[in-house]
Amino acid sequence: MRATSDPRPPKGNAVAPAAVAEGVRASPVMVQLEPPVLAALDAWVARLNETASGPPWTRGEVVRAALVRALEERGAAGEEP
């Protein structure tokens, strides 16, 4: 995951948590992923980086973007994940 002091411009699809945008340090969330899920995540990151024109994607950035999308689309509607 990239530090907030990284001088590179953010990706157009990067998600900046509100807490970080307001200058408050974001809290890390740690999860354990089964090997098939981790392999699928790594494959997704690799596919994104094959066509990315900006800074490379990382596991953390992909997980954060997917979680934000799920919260906006499913969480806001009261649906299960």
pLDDT of the chain, 81 residues: tens digit per residue: 444 444 444 555 555 555 456 677 888 999 999 999 999 999 999 999 999 788 999 999 999 999 999 999 999 889 988
Q: Take residue 9 and report the two structure tokens written for it.
A: 């411009």
| pLDDT score for 25 | 81
Side chain identity at residue 39, one-letter code: A
| pLDDT score for 4 | 45
Burial of 61 (0-12, 13-18, 19+ CB in 10 A): buried
Q: Take residue 41 and report the two structure tokens written for it.
A: 């995540």
Going by C-alpha positions, the residue among 30, 34, 4 that lies closest to residue 17 is: 4
